Amino acid sequence: VAAGAWRVYAWAPVRYVPAKFDTFIERIEKNRWSMAGWIVSDDYSDRWGYDKASLIDSGRSAFRNFQWIEIRRGDEKWTFGKGTATVSVKLELHGEGNEIAAMARDTAATATEPFVFTFRKSSAMPWSWHLVSIDQPQLKIERGRSFGF
């Protein structure tokens, strides 16, 4: 009974999805894009025309130009619905690298409003939450180029 109660507690969306978001950000900071891809839904899409594969490939391409990177997060505002979870959070990209890294950092700095990350539960299993979209209306990214560069 105690083990069952612990699972219900640990896998409750209000705890599990924010932890999965933390893992996603940590994997990006470590440039572990293929592992970050495990969190991204196969039907991912966004305003810039990225799908799962192109998001992972473009992210890997842009972030490999950093010697180190840190993504600083502001206050997170979570909203939970039936099978959905959304977080609105301001992000700041910090790091050192070559000219492409500086361009990525400068492009990210234009986004002063929060990013919106949307997760959806894909099955009845409590761990089946995946990232289905990222949005930030101020961020200008040219599709087909790695995060605008």
pLDDT at 147 over 70: no
Phi, psi for 6 (deg, rounded to 5): -65, -40
**What predicted TM-score, i.e. pTM, was given to this entire model?**
0.87
Across 20-34, 69-83, 101-115, least confident range: 101-115
Burial class (CB in 10 A: 0-12, 13-18, 19+), 3: exposed
CA-only gyration radius of the chain, Å: 16
**Percent above pLDDT 90 for the chain:** 70
